[in-house]
Each structure stands twice: as structure tokens, then as C-alpha cells.
Chain A
Amino acid sequence: MSTQMPEVEVLTDFAVREHRSLWLDAWRRLKASRTAMLGLVVVAVFLLSAVGAHFFWNYNAKTDLDYSSKLLPPNLVSTAEKPGVHIFGTDKLGRDIFTRVVHGGWNSLRVGLVAVSISLIIGCLLGLFAGFFESFDMNLKEKLVLMCGLGLVLGLFPAWIARQWYQTLLFGGLGAASVILEKKLAYVKLRPVMFAAAGALLGGLSGLLLAPLVGLVCAVVGLLIGLLLNKPVNGKAFSSITMRVMDILLSFPSYLLAIAIVAFLGPGLEKGMIAIGVVGIPVYARLARSAVLSVSQKEYVLASQSVGEGHGRILFKHVLPNILSPIIVQATMGLASAILSAAALGFLGLGAIPPEPEWGAMLGDSYKFLSSGAWWAVLFPGLAIVFSVLGFNLLGDGLRDALDPKMRIN
């Protein structure tokens, strides 16, 4: 009797239980995983302390300087011999390390969020479009937008050389013309020559208004752009070009690329965010593309098409929600690696500008003092990096399991 009761209960529970949404269901499974909850707690502590410190704990890094208390070991209670409470000790300028670690959290959080947002938004959009237009051919409007945009972007280059910004518009127009005239010129053999000549003329003539040499350079650049714009790309070509560019980005070691971008933009936390964000783009683009490719083959996409929905609606209403879970997982993991990258840039002196508190920069400032026994100046910022990265990774792992549809049976 007693052995049968629970079974019956489970069954009735199944029959009458209220339906749960996907996210509620995922949250329930996330709660069941201990490591994921540990990660969540670590992340929550990190977020709360960083946000709290930024808004409620005034700290001015520029005036924080006290040579009389430099390199003091951790001290929990203020006594006559050891005045001042420094639970993490002080650094070479006598700054309280605890204060700086907590405030450094805000910077790490900012870097993580901004860098991940950059790579998430750009990468996902590229991947979405690349994957989608591999299965659905572009219509005229989409081609027009793409080629016009391509013309505008490529036109920036001669425009920058000649400092004549209207040149971008000329090349944008050339891109649009390529789409509009596609059918008429389909059997014209000299089409590449025509477009190259048109590009050379557009660039050359407007450059000539300034100087003969500028005109010549612009004509050569314009010729190349004309050649590129000669044939309007279809969906497949767009996808493969985009993904090859992503492959090129991915083939650079990520830190090297980030350092190169920072070297180009100049140091600073904001520049670091951009660099880390750009480095992350291909990961999201590839992930989104592969997910879109598989979702696009589903019958409900065909069904929504057969109801008469347009490309935009199908892509953003039917495809996007179905590829979100891998992207959310990747973004959580991406936060961890963005924090790590920011610390690495800071350590090399390419991230936050001193005296701004930043974990990597703090490590870089203090590791020289390890030999004189000041372990605390290195240990605590290092631990902060370790724990925040670990927290995000555990949470990401948990989310991956929680959002995996195959786990839903349990």
C-alpha cells in the first residue's frame, strides 16, 4: 500500500499540473543543480558588491595616496602598533586593497557587459542573417539594403583619403544601381568593366576637384570598389563572405588581436571593451549561424512562410526565440572570458589607466613586490579574478544543462 501511494500521487500531479513556461522550467532545473547555484551565488555577490560600491561607496582613485602606510600586511583590528584596518592589506602607494578590489569589480563588470554586448549584438545579427539567407534567398529590398550599405562602407575609404564625405553616397548609389540593373545587365559580358569604370570615374572625378594625385588614388580605389560591387550578392554569397571574414578574425590568437586593436585605438578601459568585444564577434556569429541553419529547416518555419509572413517576421519571431538558449549560455561564459581578457590587458598596462582600480592592473602593479614578501597585494586581486570567472563559468555550465531540451524529460 505504502509503496503504491507515491506513484499515484505523481500521476495525478502530472495530470493536473499547471503548465510551466520554458524559462520557468529551466529555472527549476537550475535550482536543482548545486554547482550552478554556487555559481549563481558567487555571481550575485560579485554583482551586488560591484554595483553597491559604485553607487554607495565614494572612492576617488586619484587622491588615494598614503606613503606612510605602504605595503602593510592584512590587519583586521586597529591597535596602537598597527593602526588602521586593512583586511586585504595595502599596496605600494598605501592604498587599501580591499577598497580597490571591490571598486575594481565595477570596472570588470562594465568591461564584461559592454564587451559581451558588442560581440553578442554584432555577432548574433551577422550569424542570424548569414544562416537565414543561406536557406531563404534575399528579396529585392534586402539586396538593395545590403548592396547600398556595402557601397557606403567601402566608399568610406576613398572618402577618407580625399576628405570628401559625399563620396560614400556616390558608392552607395553604385551599389544600389548594381541591384536595380541586375536583370538588365545579366547577359552583358562587359559588366565588370562597366562597374570598374563607373567606380573609377566617381572616385577619380571627385578627387580631381582637389588635386591630380588625390584623383588618381581615388580612381584606383574606386575601380576596385566598382569591381566588388559589380555583381549583387545573393544570400549564399553573403553568408559565405561573412563567415570567411569571421574565420579570419578567429584565426588570430584572441589576445594578440585584442592587443593589436588596443594599440590602434590607444589604451583605456573603454578601448579595451571595444577590443575584447570585437575579438568575441566570430564566436557568436558562428554559433548563431549554425543554430539558424538547423532551425530554418524546421517545418514550422515553412508553415509560417505558407501563412504569408515576411522574412523579418520569420527571422525575428520564429527563428530567433528558438536559438536563444545556446546564445544565452555562450554569453554567460563570454562574461567570464571578457573579465579575464580585461584583466590580461590591464596586467599588460593596456587596459584601465592607473590609478583607476582594475584587477589586472593591480596585479601588474604589485607582482614586483612578491619577492619582498607582499603576497597580499597580488593574492586578493588574483582571487577576485578567479572567483568571478569561476562563478560565471559554473553558472554558464548550469544554464547549459538547464536549457538543454534533452534534459527536460527528467
Chain B
Amino acid sequence: MSDKNELTTTQTKEVQPAAEQKRLEQVVRPPVDIFEDESGITVHADMPGVSKERLNVKVEGDTLSIEGTVDIPMPENMEPLYAEVRATRYERSFTLSPEMDVDKVEASLKNGVLTLRIPKREEHKPKKIEVKVG
């Protein structure tokens, strides 16, 4: 296993809630991109149909969870003809590692894409180590 994969498993391990199986029919796991740079980790999640008011991002202990409810105005007497999307909720959570600064998580939502920025604590940002030549 490469170093990168090791990092993934320690830093953003996904939490599989026990009750997930039961709700599988209505809940969608939003697809995500996750990357890390020197100052922190960024998560992009596709959550179309979710407005700012219906988005909930929270950190409890070391678990970061994102959830949102789809709300699209529709005619009342509409009948479904064809549906690829049937769930009305998005849910996904990740466990964070201790060097992430959970108090400084920033979230923004644009055109159905959620962006989360999780910075590393100052003391964990990489420092260049000078090699002295004797």
C-alpha cells in the first residue's frame, strides 16, 4: 500500500452508520472529491437540489457529517414518468484525525456543490527542515 492510501485511511475514514442499511432506499451518498495540501483538506460534494437552508454540516467529536434535504418546487398534481433520483436526502460522514482544526472548518455551497475546507492545526503544518552542511 502506498503512503497516500495509508493517509486516506487514517485521515478521512468513512463512517458507516448501522442504521444506514434501513434507510438505503431514501438516502443518497453524495459523490465527493477529497484532496490534501500543506494547509489542510478540501472536500467537494455534489448535492444538487439542496439549498443553504436545508444543508447541515457538523462536527461531533472526530466525526464530520454532511447532510442535506432536496427541495425542488413542483406542480402538485405531478405524476412520475421516469426517475433516476428517488431519495430526498443526502448523507455522508468522515472521521477526522486529531491534527485537523475542527473549529475552523469552512463550508460553502454553490450550484449544488458543497465545498468544505478543513485546516490543519498550526503546529501540524509542515515545516521545512534545513539540512546543515558541516
Verify that A and B bind, or say they do not: no
Task: Using CB atoms and an 8 Å cutoff, list the residues of chain A in contact with chain B.
Answer: none
Task: Using CB atoms and an 8 Å cutoff, list the residues of chain B in contact with chain A.
Answer: none
